[in-house]
Structure 1
């Protein structure tokens, strides 16, 4: 049977939340799933989740908050070392009602030039989450978070989130959400894992960008998942600080104003869909 490894990073999550995503994963009948629960919590009370299926679930307690990127890398390294073809990165607040993994697996098997794929993502009320994006400029992130002028902000943000595409077709997108990343392990072995200098936020943008430069990073709306998506950095000052630090880290790495690759990549996807603007 085909094998896929999955990792979920925990931090004092509600057990029912994690049980829900575990139930979603184990709906899959045609893939042999190994789930790694990587716990950054201050205690190991979530360890009992292994009892749901101790053959398919491995619990790793870090006894400290390593951050999102470093914690996921623990499991991703195991996938690469063990020759597992695909690794799925999941947020704990994701769930799905159908067996979508089989369809994504089949697509990846048919398209060897794809390094990452994400399905259509919806809120629990079934509204679309616009998680396909252009590569960010400093102004994009500033407008999204701090600019109060609604009309101007919405127009710029709608373009940044590629809303003009309709989110109804398969697209090769330079920036995809980290809430669900169906990754090809050989590609990660080639281009590298999550950059651990990102503690939290934008590590998904950075990884997807590196993959996108050599492979396709696909939005696949034929199947869907649900994501609670709390936007915690809009509510919590500590998380906002993490977000700002990650943004500074990202632009120091890729360029602030003068980022030729960003212009080239973004212009390409806009050109492909310019008739919709």
Structure 2
């Protein structure tokens, strides 16, 4: 991020960035529809809060004019950022963060469906808790079961077991993974302050915090950029898990996406541990 974007004054409002690379049209359309519904619920209470959506096209964006028209009909300003090629997840979001002049900025995956009241509840929480700089929601899977995507600092063994072992073998490490995934404190009812690491599929920031952090570290092409940003966020603000803010996540792990993703995962893991410190077992 450049000096101009870092000094840009904040105004009221919410900006959202969604980075896509050859997305599945049906899921992207579902994400955008759920975003539109959440914006409607927010506006029903906060008509003074303009919302801007940035679709960052890293390549292969299908035709979504109808979906964007529907959002614009509800008052969401939309913009497609394209022509830069596949620059990676974090750098893609940074293109939108550089343009954001809003009070809040949502980093959103194209495989997330928002609960209708997710944005309303999140903004309410920010406005009653000024020390919060980053909020993470309750995240469910396609069957509505909770995904435990808050994390304690990982070891290499944690990552290998969770990401690459078959379920029959992974069950031998149940207690270890439960601790890594903070299952002892994360649930559907209680707010949890300062989880060390939160998922990049839905990260709602005060935009000023993102500017202080200069957005995502562009050295990560894919994977671990959210781990990196989470840990750095603790240096400038408080991080909070708020289970009344709810979303569904349709994503999968690196090992299920093929060898190219495994290579990217390993390369990013090396960069992460080299920066923050190696933990083996």
> Does the 8 Å contact 1:69/1:199 carry over to 2?
yes
- Per-residue CA deviation, residues 235-277 of structure 1 (Å, 9 max, x unaligned), is 311001100000001011111149xxxxxxxxxxxxxxxxxxx
Which of 154, 158, 161 matches 1:136?
154
Number of the residue aligned with 1:73? 94
1:195 aligns with 2:238: no
User: d(CA) in 2 for partners of 1:217 and 1:122?
Assistant: 20
- Give the superposed CA RMSD: 2.0
TM-superposed deviation, 1:210 = 0.3
1:211-247 deviations in whole A, cap 9, x for unaligned? 0233211110013111112224333110011000000
8 Å CA contact retained: 1:202, 1:250: yes
Query: Quick one: which of 228, 236, 241 aligns to 1:206?
Result: 228
Indicate conservation of the 8 Å contact 1:26/1:33, yes or no.
no
What SS does the aligned partner of 2:229 have? helix
> What is the total number of aligned residue pairs between the two structures?
254
TM-score, normalised with respect to structure 2:
0.84
Task: Give CA deviations for 1:170-208 in whole Å, capped at 9, x if unaligned.
Answer: 112110000000011111222221000000001001001
Q: Distance in 1 between matches of 2:68 and 2:246?
A: 27
Change (3 A) 1:232 1:244: closer
What stretches of structure 2 of length at least 5 have no aligned partner?
1-10
Match in the other structure for 1:160? 180
TM-score (normalised: structure 1): 0.85
Task: State the alpha-carbon separation in 2 of the partners of residues 180 and 186 from structure 1.
Answer: 17
Cα drift, residue 121 of structure 1: 0.5
Q: Within 2, Cα distance between the matches of 1:26 and 1:185?
A: 21
The unaligned stretches of length 5 or more in structure 1 are 259-277
Worse overlay, 66-75 or 53-62: 53-62
Give 1:153 deviation, angstroms: 1.7
User: Is residue 256 from structure 1 mapped to residue 266 from structure 2 by the alignment?
Assistant: no
Q: Paired residue for 2:17?
A: 7
Task: Tell me the distance in 2 between the aligned counterparts of 1:142 and 1:17.
Answer: 28
